[in-house]
Chain A
Amino acid sequence: MTNKAQGGQDLALADLLDRALSTGVVIWGEATISLAGVDLVYVGLKVLVASVDAAQRMKDASLVDRLADSGQ
C-alpha cells in the first residue's frame, strides 16, 4: 500500500477513535463495570520523564543490549 493510501486509512481510524472513545452516550454508575478508553492514560510530565528514565536504564542494562544485538 502506498504511504498516501495508508495515511487516508489511518485518518479513518483516527476519526473513529476520536469519536467512539470520547463522545456518545455515557452511563456511569451502578449500571456499569468499566468504561474502556478511560484506560488511555493521562500522563503528567513527571511520569513521562520517569518513563524516559526507565527507557534509558533499559538501554544501559546489558541484558537488553544482548537481546538487541541478537536481533540484528
Chain B
Amino acid sequence: MTKLYVYGIVGATSFDDPLPNGHDEAAVFALVSGDLAVAVSSLERSTVEASAANVWLHDNVLSALMTRHAVLPMRFGTIAVGAAQLLEGIMKRRGQLMRDLARLDGKVEIALHISGKNWEKVKQQVAGQSTDPAITQGTAYLQGRQQNLYGSDETQLSVQNVRRAIRSGIDPLMEEALWPIDEPQALPFKASCLVNRNNVAGFVQIVEDIAAKNSDTRVTCTGPWVPYSFVGKSGVGGET
C-alpha cells in the first residue's frame, strides 16, 4: 500500500486552487471526512529526511493552502500507512481540531527576534580570568559560557527595553503571543505572535519604527508562517 505524507488539516472539503507539488513531485490532494480534510501526497518512501529543502517543501504546501483556508500544520515528517487509518486517527481528535481551526482561521504566525547587535562578539571568559579564588576552573568555564549566552548587563537592558516597547506597540494587533519574560533573558529573545493576516503589514511597520530608534539591538521578524506554535495551545499573558 502506498503511504501518505501528511501536510496539514484543512477546514474545507476541497482544494480548488492549484497547489505546489509535495515530496518527490507528488500531487497534493485532499482526504475528506465530514467537514474537514487532510492535505496529503502519495509517498513511496517510509521516511522523509529532515533536511532544509524538505522542511521548506512542507512549509510551501502549507503556505499555499493558508492563502485560502484555515490550516492546522502537521508536525514535519508525519507519514501515514494508509488513508483509512489516517482518517480514523484524525476523527478521534475531531473536536480539538475543529476548535483549533475556528480559532486560527485567517491568522498567521510571526516570529520575532531581538538581540544585542554585538552579542555574538561577547568574549568568552575562560578559566584563569576569574579573580575569585573560590571559583575553580570548571565552574569558571561555565560562568564564561553563561556570559556568552546572556551578553552583558548593557545588552540585557537594551533588549529588555526594546522588547517592552515592541510589546506595547503590537499588543492591539496581536491575538495571542508566546512571549518569554524571564530575567535574565537568554539571547536572542524569541517570541511567536499570532496575528490576523490583515494586520501583518501594520505589525511589521510598528516593529520597524521601534527598531529604527534602537540601533544597538537587532530586531528581526520572519513569517508569515502557518500558525505552527499555536496549534492546540493558546498563548496568553503579558509583560509584567
Contact = CB atoms under 8 A, between A and B. Distances in A.
A–B contact at 8 Å CB threshold (below)? yes
Interface of A: 8, 11-13, 15-27, 29-40
A33 B228 contact: no
B111 interface: yes
B59 interface: yes
Contact of A15 (B48, B76, B225): B225
B79 interface: yes
A23 B58 CA distance: 13
A31 B81 contact: yes
B76 A20 contact: yes
Contacts of A30: 81, 85, 89
Given A23-B228, A31-B89, A36-B50, A16 B81 contact: no
Contacts of B192: 19
A38 B89 CA distance: 20
B229 interface: yes
Given A15-B225, A29-B89, A30-B85, A35 B77 contact: yes
Interface residues of B, dominant DSSP: mixed
A12 B222 contact: yes
A27 B90 contact: yes
B222 A15 contact: yes
A19 B76 CA distance: 9
Given A15-B111, A23-B231, A39-B50, A33 B79 contact: yes
B3 A20 contact: no
A8 B115 CA distance: 13
Interface stretch (B67-75, B155-163, B166-174): B67-75
A35 B75 contact: yes
Contact of A23 (B52, B54, B56, B229): B229
B89 to A, nearest CB: 4
Contact of B75 (A13, A18, A22): A22
B153 to A, nearest CB: 24
